[in-house]
Amino acid sequence: MAKAEIFAGVCGFSTKVEAQKNDNGVHLEITSECAAIQKLAQELSEVEPFQEISTRRGMPRSLEMGHKYCTHAACPVPVGIIKAVEIAAGLALPKDVEIKLTK
């Protein structure tokens, strides 16, 4: 199992992702304070890992659902979901990512 805690930034919302590999792909449990991500979570409960990690097989479902439900294009949650899927599927090692913003 892989877990991701995503703190989206100035909106103040946090999201937790639990990704568990199974026979059908990766099962997702997503909980969030954000209403848009809650809607995304209702529709995105199972993904195929190889579809998620590459745009060569079409758009990853996590990004599709982000486009469908998130009104903020820079929302980091869809990418955080993909990172958790990669780890759960054994396609990446767990390593924190960072975006540092300054003005």
Give DSSP secondary structure letters for 11-55: T--EEEEEEEEETTEEEEEEEES-HHHHHHHHH-SEE-HHHHS-T
pLDDT of 33-51, one tens digit each? Answer: 999 999 999 999 999 999 9
Q: How many CB atoms lie within 10 A of CB 82?
A: 23
Q: How many CB atoms lie within 10 A of CB 61?
A: 21
pLDDT of 60-79, one tens digit each? Answer: 999 999 999 999 999 999 99
Give the distance from CA 84 to its chain's centroid. Answer: 7
Mean pLDDT of the chain: 95
Residue 90 has pLDDT above 90, yes or no: yes
Element (H, E) at 6: strand 2-7
> Per-domain residue ranges for the chain?
2-88
Question: In the chain, what percentage of residues exceed pLDDT 70?
Answer: 100
What is the pLDDT, as a whole number, of residue 51?
94
What is the pLDDT, as a whole number, of residue 57?
82
Interatomic CA distance for residues 11 and 19, integer angstroms: 24
Q: What is the CATH number of domain 2-88?
A: 3.90.1010.10
**2-24: average pLDDT:** 96
